[in-house]
């Protein structure tokens, strides 16, 4: 019985540590997506495409629009 409890605890801890934080920061409109041997990552901390491209230059990376950007061009109509 103890072995079953310890096994379940180990599996639970392994699954809990494998969870990742939110990838897209909703405060920035542009993200840098990098690629590497160990995988890649997405860093959303750019306010313009040109600033992101400067960082991506010479790397295995690309700049993409943030699909979860909270700000933006959506405006309400006033009546």
Is the pLDDT reported for residue 3 higher than 50? yes
The verdict on residue 58 lying in a domain is yes
Band of the pLDDT at 18, cuts 50, 70, 90?
very low
Q: How much is the pLDDT for 9?
A: 72
The predicted model scores a pTM of 0.61
The verdict on residue 8 lying in a domain is no
Q: How much is the pLDDT for 1?
A: 76
Enclosing domain of residue 60:
19-70
Q: How many domains does the chain divide into? A: 1
The verdict on residue 14 lying in a domain is no
The verdict on residue 52 lying in a domain is yes
User: In degrees, to the nearest 5, what angle opens at C-alpha 68 toward C-alphas 31 and 48?
Assistant: 35
The verdict on residue 44 lying in a domain is yes
What are the tens digits of pLDDT across the range 25-65?
A: 899 999 999 999 989 999 999 999 999 999 999 999 999 99
The verdict on residue 12 lying in a domain is no
């Amino acid at each position: 019985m103890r072995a079953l409890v310890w096994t379940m605890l180990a599996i639970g801890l392994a699954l809990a540590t494998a969870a990742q934080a939110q990838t897209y920061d909703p405060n920035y409109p542009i993200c840098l997506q990098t690629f590497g041997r160990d995988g890649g990552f997405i860093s959303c901390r750019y306010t313009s495409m040109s600033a992101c491209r400067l960082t991506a230059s010479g790397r295995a990376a690309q700049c993409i629009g943030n699909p979860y950007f909270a700000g933006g061009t959506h405006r309400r109509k006033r009546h």
